[in-house]
């Protein structure tokens, strides 16, 4: 059955003959010799077991079967042309689907402005955003659920992923204006850990850096509360239950207009923000265009 299926070249040959009504003119249009075109049509008619063109040494006329086949050929060629237009749009990053995974602090602060300018340049690329904790961001990229991820720290333990640093995020302390951070000044880390402290849960990128700073200073962190989500930390601070220390980019997730933000004079460490992607895998044209756009963007 497969041997009977016409090829794109067969469809093009029949359409050229239908239009030109001459083997020589059709062959010229197709870049073939008249004899090569004649052999192609004869082979096609043999496979289809029907005559498409009545012809002798002087005249050629299309048959009813030929007209029916030409109509099908036109539809097939139109479908191929439409498909190639769609593929060209995909290759040039005019269309496509781009999935980005990122920490909530990044998707709420850094990403919106980048996406605003990117979508203005690529309005027909559909975007899907996965906002999740660091481990889930890495999992999404590693499994191919996301094309690119925004995360913090490094991914050295994940051999299939590559991390490209973009910026560093400074830690600040947050509290109520009439609370432990009422004085408008720099605060030392030893002071902060002695206050009622609201900490992010172990395993988060924020907690890893805070634990590292405590280890460097020889302090033991005994948080009053441990939470998994930034919004919860902000809500507890707003309720006067303690203070917290967070990277600046996380403030976009919090309602902190009524909170005071204080610098930490000796915290030292900064959270590294970067892009993560699968090693050794070719990015889609849409993802490649987005990666190029991020590299050219002005980051905080």
Q: How many domains does the chain have?
A: 3
Residues 115 and 227 in one domain: no
Query: Which pTM was predicted?
Result: 0.64
Q: Are residues 287 and 158 in the same domain?
A: yes
> Is the domain of 157 the same as that of 179?
no
Evaluate if residue 3 carries a pLDDT over 60. no
What is d(CA 145, CA 285) in angstroms, rounded to the nearest whole number?
16
Is 199 found in the same domain as 115? Answer: no
Task: With both helix axes pointing from N to C terminus, report the angle between 34-48 and 8-20 in degrees, rounded to the nearest 10.
Answer: 110
Residue 104 has what pLDDT? 87
pLDDT digits (tens, 9 = 90+) for 122-157: 888 889 999 988 888 989 998 889 999 998 876 655
Same domain as 126, residue 175: no
With residue 98 as reference, give the H or E element that holds it.
Answer: strand 96-102
Angle 285-296/64-91 helices, nearest 10 degrees?
Answer: 30
- Give the whole-number percent of the chain exceeding pLDDT 90: 47
Report residue 1's pLDDT band, with 50, 70 and 90 as the boundaries.
very low
Q: What is the pLDDT of residues 92-120, one digit of tens each?
A: 556 678 999 998 888 988 899 999 999 99
Mean pLDDT along residues 252-261: 86
Q: Same domain for 146 and 289? A: yes
């Amino acid at each position: 059955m497969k041997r009977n299926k016409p090829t794109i070249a067969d469809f093009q040959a029949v359409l050229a003959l239908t239009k030109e009504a001459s083997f020589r003119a059709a062959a010229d249009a197709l870049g073939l010799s008249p004899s090569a075109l004649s052999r192609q049509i004869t082979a096609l008619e043999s496979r289809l077991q029907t005559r498409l063109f009545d012809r002798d040494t002087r005249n050629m006329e299309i048959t009813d079967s030929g007209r029916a086949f030409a109509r099908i050929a036109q539809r097939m060629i139109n479908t191929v042309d439409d498909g190639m237009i769609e593929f060209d749009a995909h290759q040039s990053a005019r269309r496509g689907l781009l999935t980005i995974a990122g920490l909530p602090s990044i998707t709420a602060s850094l990403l919106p402005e980048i996406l605003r300018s990117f979508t203005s340049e690529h309005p027909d690329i559909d975007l899907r955003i996965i906002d999740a904790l660091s481990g889930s961001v890495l999992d999404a990229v590693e499994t191919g659920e996301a094309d690119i991820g925004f995360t913090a720290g490094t991914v050295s333990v994940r051999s299939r992923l590559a991390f490209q640093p973009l910026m560093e995020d400074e830690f600040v302390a947050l509290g109520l204006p009439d609370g432990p951070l009422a004085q408008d000044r720099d605060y030392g880390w030893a002071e902060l850990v002695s206050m009622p402290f609201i900490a992010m849960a172990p395993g988060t990128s924020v907690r890893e850096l805070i634990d590292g700073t405590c280890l460097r200073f020889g302090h033991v962190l005994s948080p009053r509360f441990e939470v998994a989500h930034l919004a919860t930390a902000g809500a507890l601070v707003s309720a006067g239950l303690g203070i917290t220390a967070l990277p600046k980019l996380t403030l976009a997730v919090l309602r902190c207009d009524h909170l005071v933000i204080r610098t930490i004079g000796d915290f030292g460490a900064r959270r590294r923000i970067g892009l993560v992607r699968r090693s050794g895998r070719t990015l889609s044209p849409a993802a490649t265009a987005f990666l190029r756009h991020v590299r050219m963007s002005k980051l905080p």
